Structure 1
Amino acid sequence: GCILSLMYVNMCLGSAECLLLAVMSYDRFTAICKPLHYLVIMKPHLCLKMMIMVWGISLACSAISCTLTLNLPRCGNNLLDHFLCELPAMVKIACTDTTTVEMSVFALGIVIVLTPLLLILISYGYISQAVLRMKSKVGQRKALNTCGSHLTVVSIFYGTVIYMYLQPGNSASKDQGKFLTLFYAIITPSLN
């Protein structure tokens, strides 16, 4: 049960959400910065390619990080003091040096978390420039309404994910990890 939960629910879907948020920001960028070319740029074929890329990268990163984590030896009590079978919780119950696994997962985290975040920030940088150049207050308001919900979800999701996964192993309390897991696993999808 924990392997399925870790592999598919947490890692693969979490990775896919990071990448999908980047794809959504590109969609917003195209809609606001190139509205007359939107239908030409965002063809169904391009959308399909982006979805295949998102799921392919998500599955690959999930398989790598889960394989590394699940191959760690565990000694004694293998019970997780956590709501979900999270990767940091699995690493903590290992009875060996986990530095290599933590560094590998951290590197994958940079690819899966920070690269899409950088693309989102670049997209919203261009969107901000386009909105500031608009002369119509109604147009500015429409553009901000288009992006507002996405920016809220991006802020909540990336804030909790970066805090959970891109920090040194022992710096957060167990209860804090549980709360943050519930926060990005339940609150963010319900807002999206």
Structure 2
Amino acid sequence: MAIQVIATALPEVKVIEPKVFGDARGSFFESFNAQKFAEQVGSDVVFVQDNHSRSAKGVLRGLHYQIHHTQGKLVRVVEGEVFDVAVDIRKSSPNFGKWVGVTLSVKNHRQLWVPPGFAHGFVVLSDSAQFLYKTTDYWFPEYERSIVWNDPEIGIEWPIDFEPLLAAKDAVGKRLSTAECFD
């Protein structure tokens, strides 16, 4: 896994660009290698679950997190394009309430590491998108929480000029000021 790790404005959140080998026949890249990931991102990270979602243009998922059984997520797109966001929701962090956003696409092969303690969401910019992510803990619906995507306290600059399509749970997400957060 030849990767370049790119820092973001939130030091714990990383953009990962794999080395892509291509010629007239197509392309190849290693999407994950535990040894290289440990060396360059974090040796204490262990993934236990892979998830795959498909969404239509304009779908916005998030901002999700689990208050217990916190999940780190390594996310990527295998079809289409999304704008992916991580928000620091650790009250003890100097970056509490700050966000970073990155465009992930099948063309740029980028991945985003969203560590535990961050809320996560994305909006689909292409006609459709398939989104894959590895998690460091299992899904526990009783601990899942959602912060509303357009919370003015956070001020995410979503690159959209339309009202996104939301799941019912995301439409009633809490504002950061009233959400359960990490200490």
Report the TM-score when normalising by structure 2: 0.25
Is the helix fraction higher in 1 or 2?
1
Greater fraction of residues in strand: 2
Q: Which is higher, the Rg of structure 1 or of structure 2?
A: 1
Task: Provide TM-score, normalisation by structure 1.
Answer: 0.24
